[in-house]
Amino acid sequence: MGPATVNVNGHCAPEFAGVQEAFERNFRRHGEVGAAVTVTLDGEPVVDLWGGHKDADRTRDWERDTLVNVYSTSKGMTALCAHLLVDRGELDLDAPVARYWPEFAQAGKADLPVRWLLSHRSGLIAPRTPLPPGRAYDWDEVCAVLAATEPWWEPGTAQGYHAVTFGFLVGEVVRRITGQSLGAFLRSEIAEPLGARVFIGTPAEEHAACADMVGQLDESLLAERLPGAPRPPFRSLDDHPMAVIMLSLVSIPTGDVNSAAYRSAEIPGGNAHASAHGLATVYGALGGGRLVGTGTLEEMRRSQSRPGEPDLAIGALAPPGFELRWGLGYMLNHQCRLGPNPRAFGHGGAGGSYAFLDPENRLSYAYTMNKYGGGTAGDDPRNGGLVKAVYQALEGRSG
């Protein structure tokens, strides 16, 4: 249980008062430490709330500009960088990755298309040998290892969540085309023009604005979720039923997410540091046509999954009955678990954060927090309660 009262700051349009009630309830009922939620309509915030604290000892207040590690919610920003290049005609999703990254052609991957990187179908969930601690911070080494890696399954035949490698794979394609790191491209082409506080590779001068994660996704915590699951290396995916998720999460260890080294590094699959306002601003601009054209937007949310197809990795951690369908770098809402629009799309992160765009309702949403809770699939009750309140408010407006 959380504190009986918490200071909530910001603003909330009267018709969205239920969202503020749900936000405050998260502190009382779910032990929220610090958090923020932003909702935009037509790009303008109708909910922009924050409260609680940046640290477990509750000595530093959460502020509007507070940044926090959002784990895989980062992937939505990483994918967006690639789609900007698609929209500009600089990246062809159906071209071989090796057209842009020649070294990638090793180990039978000469014809593997860029599309399969974005839709978690490349089979490159991990290196064949786990990297030592700290190597996740060496971009060139990680990419060289992945370029030389033989896929764990025949590319294109199955989907399996590339929890850590996604960001290096997509990010290296962006770097080869632009000459900029993924984080630098995100800043110069998206975040800074929009005034959005979203970083991949957070500058040292911003570290003071970062909230500490209270609880982290680490190997010991993973072992609690998956008792009895062995550590890699595995010779093949048949070695153990949990091999895919274990490989995906722990073969490139990322270390302490509250450390300066982690915050400064670029791990685009999972270490964006962002404010809820920043994430919602980016998704709102995407929906408003400020970042890509209509055709690119439609392609981003086109399903790359077969109906009923299991995800070999995240399926082990998803809630019962959850069927994951991937767009091009995004989780699709085809089961309407996050609002009534099956065409909404976005991405969640380990611990509970979530951000998405609902183009048909001209709505963007982002929730960030620092108490580690539910998973990437959007099953955290704190997020679920907020999203439910958002759409109840929308129904009230239209009624």
Active site residues: 72
Angle, vertex CA 42, rays to CA 39 and CA 45, nearest 5: 35
Q: In what order do the strands lie in the sheet with 34-41?
A: 8-12, 44-52, 34-41, 363-369, 354-358, 345-348, 331-332
Other Cβ atoms less than 10 A from the Cβ of 323: the count is 16
Q: Is the separation of the CB atoms in 30 and 2 below 8 Å?
A: yes
Left if phi > 0, otherwise alpha if psi is -120 to 50, otherwise beta: which for 179?
left
Residue 50 main-chain phi, psi, to 5 deg:
-150, 155
How far apart are the two ends of the chain, measured CA to CA in Å? 35
The long-range contacts involving 308-313, CB below 8 angstroms and separated by at least 24 positions, are 309/158, 309/159, 310/159, 311/120, 311/159, 311/160, 311/161, 312/153, 312/158, 312/159, 312/160, 312/161, 312/237, 312/244, 313/120, 313/125, 313/160, 313/161, 313/162, 313/163, 313/244, 313/245, 313/248
198: region left, alpha or beta (phi > 0 left; psi from -120 to 50 alpha): beta
Q: How many CB atoms are closer than 10 A to CB 337?
A: 17
